[in-house]
Every structure is written in C-alpha cells, then in structure tokens.
Amino acid sequence: MSPQDAAQPLMGSTVPPIQAVNDFVVKFANVNGSGSASANQLFAKAILRMGIPVTPRNIFPSNIQGLPTWYEMRISDKGHMGAREGVDLMVAMNPQTWDEDVKSIRPGGYLFYDNTKPLPASKFRADITVVGMPLTSFTNAAYAVPRERQLFKNIIYVGALSALINIDPKVIEDLLAEQFRGRDKLIAANHKALHMGRDYALAHLPCPLGLQLAASDKVGDRIFIDGNAAAALGALYGGATVCAWYPITPSSSLAEAFTRYCERYRKDKETGKKRYAIVQAEDELASIGMVIGAGWNGARAFTATSGPGISLMSEFIGLSYFAEIPAVIFDVQRSGPSTGMPTRTQQSDIKICAYASHGDTKHPLLLPEDPNECFQFGALSMDLADRLQTTVFVVLDLEIGMNERLTAPLQWDDSRKLDRGKVMTSDELQAGKVFGRYLDVDGDAIPYRTYPGTHPTKGGYFTRGTSRDEFARYTEAGDAYQRNMERLLKKWDTAKTLMPKAVRTDAAAPTKLGVIYYGSTSPAIPEALELIAEQTGASLNQLRLRAFPFGPEVEEFVDAHDTIFVVEQNRDAQMRMLLINELECNPKKLVRVLHYNGAPITAEFIARGIAAHINPTPVREAAE
C-alpha cells in the first residue's frame, strides 16, 4: 500500500482543537522491548535543546518484552514538572492499549497513529483531531531487514512529529550525531529516516498542529539526570568504597550507576586497581551484612534496595542501631505491600524505614525531592552515618529514581572534608585517652569507636547485639541496659541538629492553612497551590520535609497553623503518623491528602483534595 491510499489521514474534531505553545502533554504508547525507548528519549532531549523544559516519565510493566509501556512528556515553559492529568497528543503505537489510550486524550486533543490497517470509526472519538500515517507500510517499503524496520520506524515517527509540532530538525540531527559519534554510516541512516518521516508529514499531514513548540530559554544551566544516577554519584563523592546490593526494581540502576562512575573516577591511574568494591550479594540479608561489616571496619558502605529488601534487612538494621555501626541504605520505593506493583511509584516505606527492626529503634531518613538533592543527600548520608554511627536511609521512589529530570547542576565544594565521625586514633590511645566504646564523653551521646587493628594493646572491643556496659562488656544488668537505651534516645536528639532542615515557603498573605509534603510530591505542589488559589482564593504556607527526625522548625510550623494538609503517596498517611507520633501534636489538625494508585501524584489531585476541604461546595463549577 502506498501512502496515497492510506485510510483516514485526518479526521477533524467536533470541539475546537487545543491550541498551545510550549505547554502540553505528549504521551507515547509503545510495546516493551521494541526499541522505542531511545527514540522517545531523543524526542525529549530535542525539546530540551530548544530551551523548553520537559519532564518525561517512563510507565512500564514488570516484564521484559511484549507488554505495554508508555513515555509521557510534560512540556511546560512555566516549568511545571509534576505529572498532569490528561493527554494533549497521544502517539498510539500499541494496538493492545488503544482503547484506554484514546480515552485518555483531552477533548480537543490529538491522536497520532499508524493507519496502515484501517480501523472502524467506532475506534475513534469525535472530539479529537486524528492524524493517521501509514507508518508500517511506509517503513516496510523503505527497509527490507526486519530489525531495521523496527528501529527506523521509531525514527520515522519522530521525524513526522517534528514536523507536526515544530521541533527543529537540526537539533535532532545533532543529537543523533552525538549518540552515534564515530559511526558515520549509522548517523547518515538515522538522518535519512528522520527526514523521510518529516517530509511525509509536511506533504500529507496537517502541519502544524495546534500544539506548537517555540525555542525558549527556560532550561537555563540545568542538567538532565535520573535520581538513581545522581544518588550513586553522591555516594561516590561522599567517599563510599563498598557497595553490596541485590537487584530489585526500581533500585538496581543506582548500583549500576555507581559501578559506572567508579570505573570512571575511582581507578588508580597508574595501576588500574580499584579503590572500591562492588559485590552483588546473594540476597538482601547478605548485602546489608556486608555493609555493616565494612562500616564496622571503617569503610563507607551502602546498599540500594526497595521495600521487599528493607523487610529482609530489618534484623541487621536493629543491630546497626543497637551496636552503633554506620550504614547507608538507599531505598527506592515502589508500590507495596508484598511484591505490590513493582514498577509503580509510591511513598509507602516511610514507616518501615523510620522504625525498622524489633525492639525500640528509630532511624534517620533523608528525603530528596529531585536528582540534585539525591546527589547532595547521597554524599551527606555517608557523613551522617559515620557521625551518628547508625543506619541512615536515603528514601527515594521510582518517580525520582528512574526518570530523568531537569535539575540544578551538581556542585561540590573542594574545601569540604569528609566527616568520619568520632574515631579514636592509635596516638590518642597511646596518649592514654580513655576509651569506652559506649561511653558518652562529651554530652552528644555519641561514643568514640576504634577501627579494628588500631593499637596493639588498647582500644580493642567486642561488638555485639546483646546488651553491654559503657566499656562494651557483656551484661544483662537492667540499669546498664537502660542507660544505654536512654543514651540512644539522646543521640536521636543530636541527630535532630544534624539533619537538613525542612524548607518553609510562606504565602504572600498570612494564613492559618498549611501544607506539608516531601520527596517526589514536590514538583506538583506549586502548581497545585496555583490551582487552589484560582478555585478557592485560598493560599497556604508550605513546608517541605527533607529529613526525619524532624527539627524544631517542623514543630513550629505545625503549631503555627490550624489546618495542615499532609500530602503523601501512600494509603495509611505514614508521614502523618510520624508527625503525630514524634511531635505529639493534635491529629485533627493534620488532614490527609493521599494518592496511592501507583501513578505519580498530580497537581490537580492535590488541588481537588485540599480545595474540597477548604470549600465544601463543588469547586469545579464554581471555577468555571
């Protein structure tokens, strides 16, 4: 079939087509394993190179080949990076998900599809603009080899779309040239496919659509990186030398990125020997065991895992708490409980991370909002673990960890020194300094430790998960046990002074309404507040939590407001639980806004939740 007799090249819409410049959502519906990922990424990068902020999201199943995947791009000159409801342009490449894909288009939106095989009219909607291109027949006519057909089909549709929404083809050409640097034939072949698609669209399709891109300057000097890679780089800058891990989505790419960066930055230039060790352990029991062994012996060590791994590690986490051994765990959260939805996002490990293990335990958490903070907190976690001699969690989620994001450039101050905490040296021991492994000598409740092998006769001690006295001698005496447990509580107070402070942003006018949020909810908040202001006229003060335990600024915020919305991505309002438990505040003040279907939270969802509470009349009608 030649392009000329393709069925339904264009169907008009019964409602006015959406007109937007640099502010819309494009979604690609693909099949897992079809090579679409790199074409989609190319598309996103081209938009970034035009200076327009874009936030892509991978939506994928727990499967390697053949199941549906989506790549959703939020394009926003205003810089909104949270997910948005509804799709403006659907690129429907997967017949399996056709119905739901077509349904997700906003009225007045656009559908781009492969019309090689005609579809009945009932498969479409009257209120959208349908753009058909005979992609398969067109590609098959141009390429004979099946693998080429598969790969170039993706580039051909990128070419067609570049004409439809006005992406500068030069930008795409440059990106392809960078991607295949040194392989000139491949570059030429890709450029050819790109222009075949583009030329077809210019000749046969209604270019331009109402959705348009125009070169902008809103990207600035920001970089494009995923949270897992940034966190791994943070660990490396924080001096981590031992990484022990067991593969689990969505955390594996963190350990893999650490491996890549170590190869680049941590090999001895002369000998090629490695100043790091990465062990893929047999399970999470072993990965955390290795981290604790390395931490005990003075190396900075971490593991990366997700919820099921934390469950398995719990006994060791308690040992680290009680025996006071530094460890860092990156928990890239996914939807639980059990195996849950392994490739969907959630913030549902907050409670287990905060209180993991039997007995009385609590653990510091760092809660990054974006890749830049993943880097900062990745490095900071290593210092905190050594300083506090306990397990420190860096709590990410799939949304932050596995999606590339525009984020402020990563920075490092060369005058910064790694803080190795209280370690007594051989000289100090020799000079007669008193060493009691669990002795608080200066009031911060953090005792000194020694690295094994430090001094021939002094500073040796026995580490155990059983009770002991200040000099690490085994005892079951109740008072010694209790003294130790109380010191650990006091150490928790010291931790409060060391954790990153929550970030408060106040509304223009004074208000008694507040919102508390953390982690990957962050990008949706400013937009949600704009919507709330539009819909209800109300404005709220905001507090973004960055760590647990909470500093005094969190208590002050809670005290200063009458109603505080706690926005989270879990069912049981786990952070709200921690706030109530640790601050002993009035639970009635803390209103739950909970999103937990596995998709990233949207500004619209938050706005609906909050607006409904502020103004119980149906806000939608009121606003329209």
Partner 1 sequence: MTYLPKPKLAHPELQKNDLGYTRRDYEGSISTLCAGCGHDSISAAIIRACYELSLPPHRIAKLSGIGCSSKTPTYFLGNSHGFNSVHGRMPSVLTGANLANRELIYLGVSGDGDSASIGFGQFSHSIRRGVNMTYIVENNGVYGLTKGQFSATADRGAKNKRGVENMDEAIDMVGIAIQLGATYVARSFSGDKNQLVPLIKGALQHNGAAFIDTISPCVMFNNHEGSTKSYDYVREHNEAVNFMDVVTGREEITVDYEPGTTEIVRQHNGGLLKLRKLANDYDVTDRVAAMNFLETRKARGEIVTGLLYVDPDAEDLHGYLETAEKPFNALTDEELVPGAAALAKLNASLR
Chain positions 190 to 229 lying near partner 1, rule: CB under 8 A, are: 221-225
Structural tokens at position 555: 């208590």
Does 460 engage in binding with partner 1 (CB under 8 A)?
yes
Among the listed residues 149, 192, 473, 613, the single contact to partner 1 using CB under 8 A? 473
Among the listed residues 147, 185, 273, 588, the single contact to partner 1 using CB under 8 A? 273
Q: How far is CA 566 from CA 205, 373, 591, in A?
A: 47, 21, 6
Positions 499 through 558 that interact with partner 1 (CB under 8 A):
none
Which residue number, 315 or 582, has a Cβ lying nearer to partner 1? 315
Among the listed residues 197, 298, 519, 549, the single contact to partner 1 using CB under 8 A? 298
Which residue number, 211 or 290, has a Cβ lying nearer to partner 1? 290
Q: Return all residues near 581 (Cβ < 8 A) that are at least 6 apart.
A: none
Which residue number, 115 or 314, has a Cβ lying nearer to partner 1? 314
> How deeply is 221 buried, as exposed, middle or buried, from its count of CB atoms within 10 A (0-12, 13-18, 19+)?
exposed
H or E stretch covering 406: strand 404-407
Separation of alpha carbons 299 and 276, rounded Å: 10
H helical segments located in 516-602? 525-536, 552-560, 574-583
Among the listed residues 316, 321, 438, 548, the single contact to partner 1 using CB under 8 A? 316
Q: At what angle do helices 184-204 and 135-142 cross, to 10 degrees?
A: 140
Does 439 engage in binding with partner 1 (CB under 8 A)?
no
What strands lie across the sheet with 541-545, from one edge to the other?
A: 503-505, 541-545, 513-518, 563-568, 590-594
Structural tokens at position 551: 């500093």
Residue 75: phi, psi to the nearest 5? -105, 125
Structural tokens at position 413: 């101050």
Does 66 engage in binding with partner 1 (CB under 8 A)?
no
Q: How many residues bind partner 1 (CB under 8 A)?
A: 76
Q: Could you tell me which stretch among 133-141, 143-151, 271-279, 600-608 binds partner 1 (CB under 8 A)?
A: 271-279
Structural tokens at position 247: 């593969």
Residue 103 CB, nearest approach to partner 1 (Å): 36
Vertex 241 angle, CA 240 and 246, to 5°: 90
Among the listed residues 453, 552, 587, 618, the single contact to partner 1 using CB under 8 A? 453
Residue 325 CB, nearest approach to partner 1 (Å): 9
Which residue number, 313 or 575, has a Cβ lying nearer to partner 1? 313
Separation of alpha carbons 530 and 592, rounded Å: 20
Give the position of tokens 């200076």.
51
Q: Could you tell me which stretch among 110-118, 137-145, 389-397, 449-457 binds partner 1 (CB under 8 A)?
A: 449-457
Among the listed residues 463, 539, 563, 581, the single contact to partner 1 using CB under 8 A? 463
Among the listed residues 294, 400, 529, 567, the single contact to partner 1 using CB under 8 A? 294
Separation of alpha carbons 170 and 212, rounded Å: 17
Q: Could you tell me which stretch among 116-124, 392-400, 412-420, 595-603 binds partner 1 (CB under 8 A)?
A: 412-420
Separation of alpha carbons 617 and 597, rounded Å: 26
Among the listed residues 271, 432, 584, 624, the single contact to partner 1 using CB under 8 A? 271
Positions 381 through 410 that interact with partner 1 (CB under 8 A):
409-410
Positions 45 through 64 that interact with partner 1 (CB under 8 A):
48
Which residue number, 388 or 593, has a Cβ lying nearer to partner 1? 388
> How deeply is 586 buried, as exposed, middle or buried, from its count of CB atoms within 10 A (0-12, 13-18, 19+)?
exposed
Residue window 322-361: x/- pattern of binding to partner 1, with contact defined by CB under 8 A: ----------------------------------------
